[in-house]
Amino acid sequence: MKDGFLRVAAVAPEMRVCDVDFNVKKIIEVMDKLEDEGVETAVFPELCITGYTCGDLFMDRTLLNSAAAGLEKIVEASRGRNVDVIVGVPVEISGALYNCAAFVHDGEKTLVAKTYLPTYSEFYERRWFAPAQPEMSCGIFESHGAKIGIEICEDLWATVPPSSRMALEGAQVIFNLSASDDVIGKNGYLMQLIAQQSGRCLCGYVYASAGFGESTTDVVYLPKTVIAENGSVIACNDRRKFLEHPVTIADMDIEAINHDRRHTSTFAECQRNEIGETVAVPFTVGGESASDLKYRKVDAHPFVPSEDTILDERCIEIATIQECGLARRLNAVGSNRIVVGISGGLDSTLALLVAHRTVKALGGDVKDIIGVTMPGFGTTSRTYDNALKMMTLLGITIMEIPIGKAVMQHFSDIGQDPDKHDVTYENSQARERTQILMDLSNRLGGIVLGTGDLSELALGWATYNGDQMSMYGVNAGVPKTLVKYLVRWYAQTCENKELHDTLMSVVETPISPELTPPDEHGNIEQKTESFVGPYELSDFFLYYMLRYGFTPRRVYRLARKAFDGKYDGATILKWMKTFYRRFFTQQFKRSCMPDGPKVGSVSLSPRGDWRMPSDASSAVWLKEVELLEREL
């Protein structure tokens, strides 16, 4: 295991029923390839040395002797290799025949027998095999610094799979040798089963099932190689390509598995309830060399689903959560009156769209939504026009309250030079806008809807007691990268061409608080990402810091993989340093943030997911970033 990653493989090699020499030769050939790819632990199908469909030939001494000799050839071939393999073989023990998995490591083998033998429908394994005795079913081993468990096919389908107990006993990755035939609908259920077991056990799950080569006398076996981690399938073969003999490889994130077990208190409680103790598992820091993550897909936008079909479903889910939260808050205050500041930027646009859908869902009048545009010193015609167009097209009540005179009076009162474009210049405008919204909501009997998003909360990119404050922060659980996707989704699903075009214009507008004057051409001069870095980077850092508690070194390594070809190492480290510095120094703004709905696995609410002292030091994190800079 390198850098907390274990390279695993699921293999369905070419095989012939009862031809042990052929099967062993193919297994060893694959072992050579696995070694070349740096695979550390690999699983082959159930009874792969003989074939699963040998039938009554399992009782033949010639086949059993050949299988025993074949296993020894594999054991001998493993000497001096880095890859550990798990192969399926029939084994006679004390007069009974067992369906076994052999864990083979550097010239040594250990056997694990199958616990549950299917004897229904097309299966009749008890005709040949005996179920595992208690001393033969404990399939937990250490492989390359990780603790692994082994179960065989039907074991996974049992009401209480052996892997559940193995996980509680410390196994971080479960390997399953299988020979599962194919009938309509079975594969979909199997994929759910694998993903669910990896999620329930907070583990990795590596599954290999026999394929082309098994007998098709009565049933058909399509090759299936599946790798799941913490509830999601991260790699699998295409079983429609049944003439291929798949080798599916993935870099399993053991550190992420360990984090989720630490984080999920019920896992330790279940350990104590079921096995009477919590279990120590291997823990490594770093490694002799860093994993190249060749077989690890690292999404550059972890908050945003990559597939369009899933994206649509996810957007509907997020919108529903936001709408439900806001609807309940309106119900609690007894009014559908909403006051929201509309700048023409992404965040206020999303808040307005959520408010519009919520009021309509409640059967209210959208005129109860008061959209307030408050032009200031940095407002450009593009954002101003977009704000007015959106409000008009959505049919809400529009108010325009310029803030210039009030802010200039305030500057005079506090002695601020209006030509000095410093933090006071900017924050005075933000607080003036918030004061207008708050007082207006009092007068109209409504609530101020907050527009700030999760990314801004993380970076503290908000004015304390200005746009940081509201009566309900509907975007508080949505990071900036997802805000952009949501607004685009609203544009694509609306039925009004003019509204679509306006929303897309918002999406394409540079992100800015517009608190300093525009350039000489009237364009946005103050661009947020030039101060805090690209939001896709800060969202990436945020996800892996909060979701998994990863170190800066590990986040950096993942970022290099995810953004390869887009950002070089120096750029990533520059903005990583900014992220950690701002995340720590800006906690005081999050400590008193308004209520708002959690929509994903990462939240910064001080009442819910994130509790952190406002004066915590970032020294340890920044020290590691600086070390990475020196190494670079």
Residues noted as catalytic: 46, 114, 153
Instruction: State whether residue 433 is helix, strand or coil.
Output: helix
- Tokens for 622, please give them: 């920044």
Three-state secondary structure string covering 202-247: CCEEEEEECCECECCCCCCCCCEEEEEECCEEEEECCCCCCCCCCE
Q: Which residue is associated with the tokens 């984090």?
A: 259
Q: What 8-state DSSP symbol labels residue 528?
A: T
* Cross-strand bridge partners of residue 214: 212
Q: How many C-beta atoms lie closer than 10 Å to residue 422's C-beta? A: 10
Contact 283, 262 (CB under 8 A): no
In 3D space, the residue among 619, 372, 348, 572 whose CA is nearest the CA of residue 462 turns out to be 348
Contact 115, 156 (CB under 8 A): no
- Tokens for 611, please give them: 């509790």
Question: HSE of 289 in the Cβ direction (CA atoms, 13 Å)?
Answer: 4
Q: Which amino acid is at 11?
A: V
- Tokens for 86, please give them: 């798990």
Angle ∠(498,501,502) on CA atoms, nearest 5:
85
Q: Which residue is associated with the tokens 């439900």?
A: 324
* CA gap 572, 59 in Å, rounded: 62
* CA gap 271, 276 in Å, rounded: 7
- Tokens for 587, please give them: 């906690």
Q: Which residues contact 269 (CB under 8 A, 6 or more apart)?
A: none
Three-state secondary structure string covering 251-314: EEEHHHHHHHHHHCHHHHHHHHHHHCCCCCCCCCCCCCCCCCCCCCCCCCCCCCCCCHHHHHHH
Query: What region, left, alpha or beta, does residue 268 occupy, with left being phi > 0 and alpha being psi -120 to 50 degrees?
Result: alpha
- Integer-rounded Cα Rg, in Å, for the chain is 30
Query: What region, left, alpha or beta, does residue 325 occupy, with left being phi > 0 and alpha being psi -120 to 50 degrees?
Result: alpha
* Cross-strand bridge partners of residue 101: 88, 112
- Pairs from 141-144 (Cβ < 8 Å, separation ≥ 24): 141/103, 141/105, 141/110, 142/282, 143/6, 143/40, 143/41, 143/84, 143/105, 144/1, 144/6, 144/40, 144/41, 144/82, 144/84
* CA gap 34, 212 in Å, rounded: 20
- Tokens for 179, please give them: 């020979």
Do β-strands 472-473 and 447-450 pair in parallel, antiparallel, or remain unpaired? parallel
- Tokens for 501, please give them: 């075009």
* CA gap 456, 349 in Å, rounded: 15
